[in-house]
Structure 1
Amino acid sequence: MLWPGTLIGAGAGFAIASIPGAMLGALLGQALDRRLNLQSWGHLREKLGGRPMLRNDELLFVLLGRLAKCDGRVLGGHIQQARAEMRSLEMSESAQRRAIAAFNRGKSGRDRLRSYLRRLGAQPHAAEGVLRACWRMIWADGRAGGNELELISQWGKWLGWDAWQVQALARDYEPQKRPLGNSTATYQDALRLLGVSATSEPAQIKNAYRRLLSRHHPDKIAGSGATAMQVREATDKTRELHNAYTLIRERRDFR
């Protein structure tokens, strides 16, 4: 692997003193790469611009922030989903502050993410977890926009995933294709699922939804050593909760 400092040093050395200069320049550049932990041209640009390198947990929330913003406006559902991810990861207060800062950083769309994702691709389990979190964020507002689909497709490619593999994960989080309708029975079922009533305040409904979502989050279940069947059941439960909350929110007309 040829790192940026090594290449720059070799090129500058060759221009000054031909092959011996290139060899010396490459050694000096390699020492600079190691000292500054430069692993790509993107890292070098970030160092020169003064932007801090991203940790893996920060990278996740940068991605989520970019997805939330890419179709125009960050909605309440996006914020709720980001908070749900923090709860599922059982983040400390300081880690949550970093995650919020990373989410806001992601909204700017300024970070070059290819090198980060290519490096993360060497960790298959972590890469899958990131893609699953991205799909949850995409479906947080009940729909998948064109810009969101384009981003996750590109990110999957950088992670080393085929397009069909990325798309296959979407089925675990896509809201069920059923009409929300005006059926009283369906509406009552949604209220019962969240443990609220038709007269509950929006804040109570939101809190009930978040609490249940955190309890049944598939990543939290998977982290406790559950079987594949239990994870699937948790995924189905999460989808039911999302559909119920969407139905109630639309019927009651609140965000």
Structure 2
Amino acid sequence: MIFGKLVAGAIGLIVGGPIGLIAGLFLGHIFDRGLGQTLQAGSAENIARIKEQFFETIFLLLGYMAKADGRISQQEVDHTEMIIRQMRLDSTQRQRAIDLFRRGASPEFQLHSTVSAFVEVAGRQPQLRQTMLLFLISLALADHGIEPEEHEALGTIAALLGFNRLQLEQLLRMAQAQEQFHHRDAGQPDSPDRLQAAYAALGLTAAAGDRELKHAYRKLMSQNHPDKLIARGVPEDMLQVATEKSQEITAAYDLIRKHRNGSR
């Protein structure tokens, strides 16, 4: 790829003569390298590779988290089966997911190398690493709670993905608050605690202005938009998780707007 070298070199030659040409070629080389990496990251081949790695990593890490307390309970097995049903996997995918889960729960499982392999494939996509962590949190919350051992395992995984403890705790608070709006009964009364949970679901407090509220909502909806997730390399099988997350976020946002409109 030489587009950047040609353009920057020509500009450098016109502006600074031979020295400008050399400087322009150098800058053009940097541009071409960055552009090449960007195009490669978005290629169909690379997206397919990321999807494969994402699927594999998710179920390996779920197995690791389930075994974090030293044993796998029947509840955790049922929980994993529920996730598989939620993703509507076919028989082949289902068996592969189970095999990966068992590998992740085995004593021989190598956590660091597994996460490192995913980070390497994800490349310069911090949003994809966050998506991985958010999916793990959402799936861990599917049985309506995170055990202390799971919490510690999530902390280790988050660090390997490049997130500190404060960032993890913020994501956990948001996810746990969003969980309160999962398949919400429309007839359920709105309480101050529920309103507070709605703000927490969007990562805000009641002091947030209308513009900040709308920005937070749009950002979260964008993060869970199916087209964007697919473009990043999230397998289609896992889009149901994002769809339900979007519904929870929308329910929380609607509650806040209803309260604010009624207060005016």
- TM-score band by shorter chain is 0.3 to 0.5
Q: TM-score, normalised by structure 1?
A: 0.45
Q: Which has the higher contact order (CA 8 A, sep 6+)?
A: 2
Q: TM-score, normalised by structure 2?
A: 0.44
